[in-house]
Structure 1
Amino acid sequence: MQPIYDYLSSVKDKRILVSGGTTGIGRAIALMLHDMGAKVLIVGRNQPQIDETLEEMDRSSSEAACYGVQADLSGKEGIQTTLQAVDEQLGGLDILVNNAALGYGSVMEGTYEDWQYLLNTNLLAYLALSNGAITRMKDGGHIVNIGSMSADVREANSSVYVATKSGIQGFSEALRKEVNPKGIKVSLIEPGAVDTDMQEQPDEEKKEQIKNEEMLEANDIAMAVVFCLCQPHRADIVNVKVRPHLQII
């Protein structure tokens, strides 16, 4: 039997891009993978958050390189800027974590431009970065898409957000069938409620929900990503649903 530490070492020295890697789930994923020795490039819209996350990486015991790029993934220019940074900073790509996303409510709210921005960020950026990643994964690779329980629950007053997460669910399944023959894995992780900026409750209320096992911490999802990445090549973790113990949905 292959020992567990060999599985964990599979992340070391991997070149990883994490979109939305400066806050919430993405930040937790980036920090955890960097701690494990991966070379991590994070993408975010705000330079101060990029700088703070990179400083946190620098304070860790890991000697792996870490980089950041400021880009708005809702547009073609932001995608191109990100992929150029992949080439210049990482020199290729082994793992893509598609995570950048924005919350939204009902289609009865906002304007066409609001919906377009959300769809571009939450869905089209996943497609575009996946395309860019696949062309750079010469010896196999792994794409991890962060979805949401909303794709299954489809709660009222969240129709625009639900549309994007349902799209990611379908995209992940079809993409896996396309790229598995190339040696590339695709994993979809669908969290329930997580303590991130997307949850609008006061911090004290979220802490109470975590204590009551009604909400997850971002590190819980980062652990699920590590689980997917550290399997032997023969084993694909296709879909992981991570729910708070007492979020009954």
Structure 2
Amino acid sequence: MSKIIVITGAGAGLGKNLAQRFAADGDTVVLLGRTRSKVEAVAAEIGERAMAVECDVASADSVRAAFAQIAERFPKIDVLINNAAVFAPSTVADASDAHIVDTISINLNGSIFCARAAIPMMGPGGHIINVGSESVDVPFWHLTLYQCSKAGLEQFTVSLRRELEPNGIRVTMIRAGQMMEEGKATGWDPEAAMRFAKANMEAGINLMSRPISQFKSVTGIFRAVVDMPADVHMGTVHVSARTAG
């Protein structure tokens, strides 16, 4: 049965690939993103099964406005995928105010704001999926802020799962490893990126030798989680990259 699936951070990367995958499978996707032109471009590529909505997940007011707009077309939604996130290396000492605020506000607060807005639009069978990170367990250097935001998201997932179980709404954490989009640069400050690589190498983590998966490959995991039988639940799913052989 076709589902209404809301995806944050859908203008590029994993969010874009998820939207394309679900729409191709016959679902209707709602693309949320801070940059209207990006989500509108993705929606235009997908066609009639896509709706683009401008939304800054770090802003509670923006999230409320976005979900009010969604409700005008889809009073009920089936799935929310909290994918929006920012990722940039920095020590805490070197982090700017904006870096600290954006990392926590987008990666953690944004998922909470969106979940809060989505819950009243869901019924039994609804599903909230939060996208986590392997960095919670892997001791990468210069990722303290990112790791904290994702660790907080994991605890939020566990607690929200207990809260929503009586409502028949499932909550899943998909902890993902390194992924890439061909031809897309990280946008990192070159000096910060160099310090990041050097610090991890000195700690025994060779970033260049770590496998990286393709976004399109990972979408199959989300498809399986969304389609799991009603009497089955996956609380946490670990997805890691591997060297294809």
Over 3 Å counting, the alpha-carbon distance change for 1:126 and 1:31 in structure 2 is same
216-225 or 141-150: which moved more? 216-225
Task: Establish whether residue 42 from structure 1 lines up as the match of residue 31 from structure 2.
Answer: yes
Runs (4+) of structure 1 exceeding 6 A deviation are none
Three-state SS of the structure 1 residue aligned to 2:180 is coil
Task: Establish whether residue 57 from structure 1 lines up as the match of residue 46 from structure 2.
Answer: yes
Task: Establish whether residue 102 from structure 1 lines up as the match of residue 101 from structure 2.
Answer: no
Over 3 Å counting, the alpha-carbon distance change for 1:213 and 1:109 in structure 2 is closer
Matched residues, percent identical? 24
Contact 1:96 1:143 in 2 (8 A): yes
For 2:20, the aligned partner's letter is L
Task: Establish whether residue 27 from structure 1 lines up as the match of residue 16 from structure 2.
Answer: yes
Task: Establish whether residue 76 from structure 1 lines up as the match of residue 60 from structure 2.
Answer: yes
Three-state SS of the structure 1 residue aligned to 2:228 is coil
Counterparts of 1:72 and 1:120 in 2: how far apart (Å)? 10
Q: After superposition, what is the alpha-carbon deviation per residue over 1:47-75, rounded to whole angstroms, capped at 9, x for unaligned?
A: 221122112212xxxxx631001121111
Task: Establish whether residue 16 from structure 1 lines up as the match of residue 13 from structure 2.
Answer: no
- Indicate the residue corresponding to 2:197 in structure 1: none
Which of 224, 228, 242 is the matching residue for 1:227? 224
How many residue pairs get matched? 222
Q: CA deviation at 1:28?
A: 0.8
Task: Establish whether residue 121 from structure 1 lines up as the match of residue 121 from structure 2.
Answer: no
**TM-score, structure 1 length as denominator?**
0.82
Three-state SS of the structure 1 residue aligned to 2:172 is strand
> Where in structure 1 are there 5+ consecutive unaligned residues?
1-9, 59-63, 202-211
Over 3 Å counting, the alpha-carbon distance change for 1:111 and 1:19 in structure 2 is same
Contact 1:154 1:162 in 2 (8 A): no
Counterparts of 1:131 and 1:223 in 2: how far apart (Å)? 26
Q: After superposition, what is the alpha-carbon deviation per residue over 1:59-101, rounded to whole angstroms, capped at 9, x for unaligned?
A: xxxxx63100112111122211221122113222111000000
Contact 2:125 2:230 in 1 (8 A): no
For 2:135, the aligned partner's letter is S
Q: After superposition, what is the alpha-carbon deviation per residue over 1:149-177, rounded to whole angstroms, capped at 9, x for unaligned?
A: 01111411110111111111111111111
Counterparts of 2:174 and 2:75 in 1: how far apart (Å)? 27
For 1:25, the aligned partner's letter is L
Counterparts of 2:241 and 2:4 in 1: how far apart (Å)? 31
- Indicate the residue corresponding to 1:206 in structure 2: none
Counterparts of 2:158 and 2:232 in 1: how far apart (Å)? 16
For 1:223, the aligned partner's letter is G
Counterparts of 1:173 and 1:87 in 2: how far apart (Å)? 27
Counterparts of 2:217 and 2:123 in 1: how far apart (Å)? 31
Task: Establish whether residue 241 from structure 1 lines up as the match of residue 243 from structure 2.
Answer: no
- Indicate the residue corresponding to 1:148 in structure 2: 133
For 1:90, the aligned partner's letter is F
Three-state SS of the structure 2 residue aligned to 1:224 is helix
- Indicate the residue corresponding to 1:215 in structure 2: 212
- Indicate the residue corresponding to 1:205 in structure 2: none
Counterparts of 1:194 and 1:230 in 2: how far apart (Å)? 23
Alpha-carbon RMSD across the aligned residues, in angstroms, is 2.2
For 1:98, the aligned partner's letter is N
Over 3 Å counting, the alpha-carbon distance change for 1:66 and 1:48 in structure 2 is same
Q: CA deviation at 1:44?
A: 0.9
Three-state SS of the structure 2 residue aligned to 1:42 is strand
- Indicate the residue corresponding to 2:165 in structure 1: 180
- Indicate the residue corresponding to 1:136 in structure 2: 121
